[in-house]
């Protein structure tokens, strides 16, 4: 009997998926396995049966996250009923901003409290983890009467494409990049985390601003907004060095391993 990381109750803790399980069904091989590639110069390609899990939440909280957040969040990118595609954007109508925003926060929070090596780069301050936990439980983004969580953690979503066709779009949509920290910024007071699934790149921007007006009004490219319609910009993979490098290394490793 351990304490649930969300509600704090002493319960039988279940193995929790950091990245929602449903994402892995569409990217598994015909034999139900995944190809795992580590983006470095030494680790070889390996075969794995599933996505990382860890004893984190009780059954009640697992169900809570599934019903309140994942049921909507995991279907948004796959549901074509309310979408319109153009050359530059994908439009989603009937968008539920708060629910989707908190869904993405739930993934970041689980990665941050995880002790799995796959998420060792995601370590938020304890105080922030507790704020995220409370907001998720209360289904709100309001920290107090003056500030909301999305004033401090701004989330952008981009659809990654390759107009040159050097990388097939099916491959782009079939790759999952675990949450990583973006180390490209020279501004140490601001940092960002990112992960990629279904061809969509999710970026969490976490900045420290002293001016309240700047906190509320500063916008990032592709940032989610509290509206019932959102435009997800399409972005060339060649414009995103870290993502492009990851794909190139993945392709090279796979060629060496499986040819």
pTM score of the predicted model: 0.88
pLDDT at 56: 94
pLDDT at 114: 94
Q: What are the tens digits of pLDDT across the range 170-215?
A: 888 888 888 888 866 555 557 889 988 888 999 999 876 556 556 6
The DSSP-derived string for 111-162 is HHH---GGGTT----HHHHHHHHHHHHHT--BSSSS-BGGGTEEEEEEEEE-
Residue with tokens 């309140």: 68
pLDDT at 161: 94
Per DSSP (E only), the strands in the chain are 2-3, 10-11, 13-17, 34-36, 46-48, 53-58, 83-85, 89-93, 153-161, 177-182, 190-197, 200-207, 229-236
φ, ψ of residue 98 in degrees (nearest 5): -60, -45
Q: How far apart are CA 56 and CA 17, in angstroms?
A: 9
DSSP helix/strand/coil, 78: coil
List the chain pLDDT tens, one digit each, 259 residues. Answer: 689 999 999 878 989 989 888 777 666 555 555 555 555 454 454 445 567 789 999 999 999 999 999 999 988 888 778 899 999 999 999 999 999 999 999 999 999 999 998 888 898 999 999 999 999 999 999 999 888 999 889 999 999 999 998 888 888 888 888 888 886 655 555 788 998 888 899 999 987 655 655 666 678 899 999 999 999 999 999 998 878 877 877 777 655 554 4
Q: How far apart are CA 107 and CA 175, in angstroms?
A: 17
Q: Which residues of 79-95 are buried (b: 16+ CB within 10 A; e: fewer)?
A: eeeeeeeeeeebebeeb
Q: Which long-range contacts (CB under 8 A, 24 or more apart) does 186-189 make?
A: none
pLDDT at 166: 87
Q: Which residues contact 12 (CB under 8 A, 6 or more apart)?
A: 1, 58, 59
Q: How far apart are CA 168 and CA 258, in angstroms?
A: 18
Q: What are the tens digits of pLDDT across the range 31-45?
A: 555 555 555 454 454
């Amino acid at each position: 009997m351990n304490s649930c990381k969300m509600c704090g109750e002493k319960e039988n803790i279940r193995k929790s998926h950091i990245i929602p399980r449903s994402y892995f069904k569409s990217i598994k091989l015909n034999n139900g396995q995944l190809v795992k590639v580590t983006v470095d110069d030494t680790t070889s390609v390996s075969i794995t049966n599933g996505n990382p899990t860890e004893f984190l939440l009780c059954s009640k909280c697992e169900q809570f996250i599934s019903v309140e957040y994942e049921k909507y969040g995991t279907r948004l990118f796959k549901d074509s009923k309310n979408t319109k595609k153009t050359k530059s954007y994908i439009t989603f109508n009937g968008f539920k901003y708060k629910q989707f925003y908190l869904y993405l926060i739930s993934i970041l929070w689980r990665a941050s409290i995880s002790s799995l090596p796959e998420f060792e780069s995601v370590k938020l301050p304890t105080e922030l983890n507790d704020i995220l936990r409370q907001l998720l439980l209360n289904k709100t983004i309001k920290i107090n009467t003056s500030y909301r969580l999305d004033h401090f953690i701004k989330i952008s979503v981009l659809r990654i494409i390759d107009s040159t066709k050097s990388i097939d779009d099916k491959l782009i949509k079939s790759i999952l990049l675990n949450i990583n920290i973006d180390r490209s910024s020279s501004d140490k007071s601001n940092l960002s985390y990112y992960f990629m699934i279904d061809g969509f790149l999710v970026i969490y921007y976490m900045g420290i601003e002293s001016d309240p007006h700047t906190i509320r009004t500063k916008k990032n490219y592709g940032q989610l907004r509290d509206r019932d319609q959102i435009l997800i910009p399409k972005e060339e993979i060649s414009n995103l060095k870290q993502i492009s490098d990851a794909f190139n290394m993945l392709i090279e490793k796979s060629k060496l391993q499986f040819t």
